[in-house]
Amino acid sequence: MFKHLNFTVLIATVISALTLVLIVSMGLGTYYKLKTKSTISVMGSVEKTITSDRAKWNIGISRTMKTTTEAVEKIEIDSNTIKQYFLDQGIKAGEMTFSPASSAEQTESVCTQNQNGQVCNNKFIGFTASQTITIESEDVNKIAELSEKASFEIAKKNISFMPQNPEYYYSYEKLKTLKVEVISLAGANARERAEEIALKTGAKIKGLSEASMGIFQITPINSTDFSDYGVYDTTTIDKKISVVLRATFVLE
Is-contact 224 177, C-beta < 8 A? no
The pTM score is 0.75
Q: What is the pLDDT of residues 182-223, one digit of tens each?
A: 999 999 999 999 999 999 888 999 899 999 988 889 999 988
Q: What is the pLDDT of residues 220-243, one digit of tens each?
A: 998 887 777 789 999 999 999 999
Q: Residue 12's pLDDT is what? A: 41
Q: Residue 241's pLDDT is what? A: 95
Give the chain's domains with CATH numbers.
36-51+172-251 (3.30.110.170), 55-169 (3.30.70.2970)
Q: What is the pLDDT of residues 15-43, one digit of tens each?
A: 343 333 333 333 433 233 333 468 999 99
Measured between alpha carbons, how far is 37 from 171 in angstroms, rounded to an integer? 45
- The pLDDT confidence band at residue 178, using thresholds 50, 70 and 90, is very high
Q: SS3 for 1?
A: coil
Q: What is the pLDDT of residues 138-170, one digit of tens each?
A: 999 999 999 999 999 999 999 999 999 999 999
73 pLDDT more than 70? yes
What letter would DSSP give residue 93? G
Percent of the chain with pLDDT over 70: 85
